[in-house]
Homo-oligomer: A and B are copies of this chain.
Amino acid sequence: MHTKEMSACIEACQRCAATCLEAAMHHCLEAGGQHTEPRHFRLMLACVEVCRASAALMLIGSPSHRMQCDLCAKVCDECAADCERIGGMDACVQACRACAKECRQMAGHAVAA
């Protein structure tokens, strides 16, 4: 029903939401320190919410998915950068980068640098 591109984006959003929620609730809470800094932790949870919303709008078939994917790409990039800064969060970094890339394409941005 969806294009191959949209299906890939939905999957990347679902994976990113799951990866960030799990990492926050396990890795971050157990490690503490920088991992539970309000700014970092809020970014993780915000990432979960925008990824859920992007996946939902694409599944619903709303034309607003483009704006939501654009926002999602920005939050995912921020989250990936913050996870890299703190370190030890490779699964999140990868899921966020992959999701940002797919969302940017869905939002209609040119992919080339």
A26 contacts chain B at the CB level, 8 A cutoff: yes
Chain A binding surface, main DSSP class: helix
Report B-chain residues with C-beta under 8 Å of the C-beta of A62: 42-43, 45-46, 75
State the oligomeric state as a number of copies.
Answer: 4
What is A's interface to B at a CB cutoff of 8 Å?
A: 1-2, 10, 14, 18, 21-22, 25-27, 29-30, 32, 36-38, 41-43, 45-46, 49-50, 52-53, 55-57, 59-62, 64, 67-68, 71, 74-75, 78
Q: A22-B59, A50-B53 are in contact. List 13 more A-B contacts (CB 8 A).
A: A1-B22, A1-B26, A14-B18, A18-B59, A25-B42, A25-B61, A29-B37, A43-B62, A46-B57, A46-B64, A50-B68, A52-B52, A67-B71
